[in-house]
Structure 1
């Protein structure tokens, strides 16, 4: 006889199937209940803490904004103070510079007053238009800086006006020579230097001497409406006074 074919179906007792369904349902209910318990626990524990965290974060943000605003204000105040201090320092330096200049002006005025007192004092001898002093000092580049002081005390109420020129006498190539006004200024028809004063006036400027020339004296000529003066001064004396 041929062997019997196995069946695809299996006979299960009804009570066993019911028990399996019940177990599965019980597991499902337990799982749902656990989810509910987890949700309840999260709602009653995590939610309050989350609310507290949000409140703390909001408070921290407010405090941060307040601190940032205060920091900005302090930085602006620091910048303003720094700028004010810079302005104060600059103003103080300017004042100090101005005071120094005024001190120099006062010293110069005092020297002028002392010179004026010696010039027109009651014991001083009255003189007409003359060269009080001539000073020459060498400069870089070969030029000479001159300062010539003119005075007059004969007529104390009059104004002396005119023009001043000078020449320099000396030796060139072993021979006596004279450097004229135009050559001293390296200019043809160089204009004379004008003067106008009541008691004294200082004239200054720059001239150029030839490189092969040895100066010995300077001769100053003054030409005015009512006076013509020519006065010679020793070059060594003039340069010694100019180099002091």
Structure 2
């Protein structure tokens, strides 16, 4: 069976139409590209500019990473420097305390062997009062020495009392009245060069201390007793 006589003409028309459409699209693209060229813009320039921006961003990101690493390194050095400074400061403080302790020890022994006033016999070398944990509790540190008289030991006891005011009235409390309930009221001593003591006191309610009286009573023949009085003050010696 033969095809209709008008089919070859229709094929030619379709080819012509397609060719015309392609030509129109290509022409439109050329016009568009020509317009961009006229506006100083083309695909090559745009691609180049974009790549430059990408490279610049990459460079900035690399700088940020480098700066972060530098900051971390500086912070590490700072921490190390701070730790080193603290170690040096602590060691220096410890050294200064040791030097001070040695100076105090030298002064203490010099006072026993060769006191500045040239005196001899028994004396109170140090009295220190410090606040305890409770409101009316106090810690007493007493140091007795025998100066320039070390050929024999000295024995005896300490008589301790505090003068003050009880609700506005003058009063003196003996050691036995100031000790905790389970403490021994006796205060004996026996030494050749020196002896130190630590005692706990509990002041009566409403009592305001003013002076501390200490009598070092010698029971050794030819070594005299001594009595000294000190103004009350915590932290003093």
TM-score above 0.5, yes or no: yes
From 48, 63, 66, give the equivalent of 1:73.
Answer: 66
Structure 1 residue 37 corresponds to structure 2 residue 27: yes
| Cα offset, 1:95, TM superposition | 2.5
| Residues 204 and 115 of structure 1: CA distance in aligned 2, closer, same or farther (over 3 Å) | same
Deviations 1:180-224 (A, max 9, x none): 1xx5342314699999998546545542221355676545779xx
TM-score scaled by length of structure 1 = 0.55
Aligned residue runs from structure 1 range 38-57, under 5 A: 38-41=28-31, 49-57=42-50
| Residues 84 and 191 of structure 1: CA distance in aligned 2, closer, same or farther (over 3 Å) | farther
Contact 1:135 1:239 in 2 (8 A): no
Query: Runs of 5+ in structure 2 lacking a partner?
Result: 1-15, 218-223
Distance (Å, rounded) in 1 between the aligned partners of 2:27 and 2:188: 116
Count of aligned pairs:
211
| Residues 203 and 102 of structure 1: CA distance in aligned 2, closer, same or farther (over 3 Å) | farther
From 56, 71, 84, give the equivalent of 1:91.
Answer: 84
Contact 1:138 1:145 in 2 (8 A): yes
Contact 1:120 1:126 in 2 (8 A): no
Distance (Å, rounded) in 2 between the aligned partners of 1:30 and 1:212: 120
| Residues 78 and 174 of structure 1: CA distance in aligned 2, closer, same or farther (over 3 Å) | closer
Distance (Å, rounded) in 1 between the aligned partners of 2:227 and 2:106: 27
SS in 2 for 1:107: helix
From 206, 209, 223, give the equivalent of 2:203.
Answer: 209
SS in 2 for 1:211: coil
Distance (Å, rounded) in 1 between the aligned partners of 2:190 and 2:51: 87
Aligned residue runs from structure 1 range 42-191, under 5 A: 49-121=42-114, 127=121, 131-136=124-129, 141-152=135-146, 154-155=149-150, 167-168=160-161, 178-180=174-176, 184-189=178-183
Distance (Å, rounded) in 1 between the aligned partners of 2:186 and 2:62: 73
What corresponds to 1:239 in structure 2? 232
SS in 2 for 1:187: coil
Distance (Å, rounded) in 1 between the aligned partners of 2:42 and 2:82: 58
TM-score scaled by length of structure 2 = 0.56
What corresponds to 2:7 in structure 1? none
Larger radius of gyration between Structure 1 and Structure 2? 1
What corresponds to 2:13 in structure 1? none
SS in 2 for 1:72: helix
Contact 1:136 1:146 in 2 (8 A): yes
- The two structures, once aligned, show a CA RMSD in angstroms of 5.3
| Residues 38 and 216 of structure 1: CA distance in aligned 2, closer, same or farther (over 3 Å) | closer
| Residues 189 and 177 of structure 1: CA distance in aligned 2, closer, same or farther (over 3 Å) | closer
